[in-house]
Structure 1
């Protein structure tokens, strides 16, 4: 009888350890995927920042234009 209880306990412990190990592996995989996604999104952010800077520079180059929109933007950002 003790041997049966021990065997059930051993089986339950193994099952529990496997469940914990699987959960940890899933979390590591999720962390890896999210890190990659973060890297990609950070690259997009950098590209967008560069594009904003380029567009602002282009607007400032047109400082002598008579366009009310450009003049308004320049006045607001000055």
Structure 2
């Protein structure tokens, strides 16, 4: 399984927020944002910080994607 942050990028678009503004607001390092752009795993504490900032659940900002492309919410 892989992680997908597509829901997060859609959330940023819906809120008219740039990735740079998002990174600063949530206090992410540039390396963490790069990992997320590549759909690499990040720490649970990072996901919790993002979810807290947007007042949402972790499943609202990322999905698990199986090798066949089937998506499952967290």
The interval holding the TM-score normalised by the smaller chain is under 0.3
Larger RCO (alpha carbons 8 Å, 6+ apart): 2
Which structure would you say has the larger Rg?
Answer: 1
Of Structure 1 and Structure 2, the greater strand share is in: 2
Q: TM-score, normalised by structure 1?
A: 0.17
State the TM-score, normalized to the length of structure 2: 0.17
> Normalized per residue, which structure has more helix?
1
